[in-house]
Amino acid sequence: MYSVKIRDHFMIAHSFDNPVFGPAQSLHGATYVVDVTFFSHSIEPYNTVIDIALASDVLHDVLERFRFKNLDDMPEFKGRLTTTEFMARYIHDAVKEKTAAQFNGKIGVTLGESHVAWASYEED
Q: Sorting pLDDT into bands at 50, 70 and 90, what band is 44? A: confident
52-64 and 84-99 helices, crossing angle to 10°? 130
* CATH code, domain carrying 94: 3.30.479.10
In Å, the largest CA–CA distance within the chain is 52
Count: domains in the chain: 1
CA distance 109 to 6: 10
For 3-37, write each residue's pLDDT tens digit.
999 999 999 999 999 999 999 999 999 999 999 99
Q: What is the domain extent for residue 12?
A: 2-122
CA distance 31 to 111: 10
For 51-91, write each residue's pLDDT tens digit.
999 999 999 999 999 999 999 999 999 999 999 999 999 99
